[in-house]
Amino acid sequence: MKPLQDLKIVSIEQFGAAPYGTMLLAELGATVIKIENAAIGGDPARKTGPYYLGENDSEYFQSFNSSKKSVALDLRSDEGRKALNGLIAKADVVMNNLRGDLPAKMGLDYPSLASVKSSIVCVHISAYGRDNERTARPGYDYLMQAESGLMDLTGEPDGPPSRIGAPSMIDQTTGLTAAVGLLAAVLQARSTGKGCDVDVSLFEVAVHQLGYVARWYLNEGHVSVRQQRSAHYSVAPVQTFPTADGWVFIMCMTDKFWGELASAIGRPELAQDIRFATMGNRQKNRDAITEIVDAELKKRPSSYWLDKLGSRLPIAPVLDLASALDNPFLKTTDMVRTVPHPAMPGMRVLGNPIKINGRRLEQSVCSPMGADNAEFGLPAVALEPGRR
């Protein structure tokens, strides 16, 4: 039994942010009915390559939509709108990631839907929010990284601003944030009988990821800047170090860990050196620490240092994408799994990072577009032929 099996979500969604959030909830047991626009051939992510799974499906699409139902509707038609309201009347939540000015126009906000179901929770993911001068502006993940300051903080000091390397991090963080807001609002609706609107914007989530460097600026006027070797802003040594055959990341977040590192590299006296004896002094003399530790770590391969230091202080190898996903530890922890797809019976996927009673959540592929219309008593809709 999955914990959210009595939760029903109707989601008008496409691409990354809302689909990622509802995917996590679907894998936790929620029934997620993905509404796809029959007039345009469904979620554009189905046609996003380069790797396709038959007609009108792709590995990109499935990465955000596992374990969901698909219903195809033309929401511009009276019939499509009537069908949508019928689904909402039996749901707990209606979610969308439309442009900020569209939910009210399309009748997808709480004031519009309270008469359909008083306890309905309406979750809105937009680029900039629904209550300001940017409401009608479109927006995507990378734009938020640019304007929030995240891009300026990423990369080496002498390089250009860079986006976060992993794709769609702001989309996914926004989807996760929306899922938290959704669950909180559902708990409230079930106790009071009254639903509400929940708003989450890509921009505000991106800014919120600045964390303590934002507070340092807002209260102290301190402007954090890019650090060499991806170093921590205020603790040292916390950064990448070269070995004889690669790189490792070491995090001496405490005096104890610094003492362990000094001992492991054969320089125990460094722990008592006045330049390095306190956290503040280590930060002031980070360049000197870097030079000393570099010289020692370069003498041995990464595997040596991982074995020697792994149980003594926080250390990890810096892996390329292939090595990271071929890491035997992912097999040990069941984080890479096989979820059959009609076009790829052996399709490998990443497992949900949440475990319930020590077990990974079961996953399935998203249905073909509109395949679940009949299950919900809806007529089949003429669909645009799949395109690549």
Between the two ends of the chain, the Cα-to-Cα distance in Å is: 38
Separation in Å, CA 53 to CA 37, 44, 46: 20, 14, 9
Residue with tokens 């698909």: 70
Write down all domains in the chain, each with its CATH number in brackets. Answer: 8-208+334-376 (3.40.50.10540), 228-242+247-317 (3.30.1540.10)
pLDDT tens string for the chain (388 positions)? 899 999 999 999 999 999 999 999 999 999 999 999 988 889 999 999 999 999 899 999 999 999 999 999 999 899 999 999 999 999 999 999 999 999 999 999 999 999 999 999 999 999 999 999 999 999 999 999 999 999 999 999 999 999 999 989 999 999 999 999 999 999 999 999 999 999 999 999 999 999 999 999 999 999 999 999 999 999 999 999 999 999 999 999 999 999 999 999 999 999 999 999 999 999 999 999 999 999 999 999 999 999 999 999 999 999 999 999 999 999 999 999 999 999 999 999 999 999 999 999 999 999 999 999 999 999 987 655 544 4
Which tokens belong to 371? 């395949």
Q: Please, what is the Cα angle at 186 between 184 and 189, to 5 degrees? A: 115
Spatial CA neighbour of 86 closest among 96, 75, 97: 75
Instruction: Give me the DSSP letters along 339-369.
Output: --BTTBTT-EEEPPS-EETTEEPP--PPPPT
The CB density around residue 235, as the number of other CB atoms within 10 Å, is 18
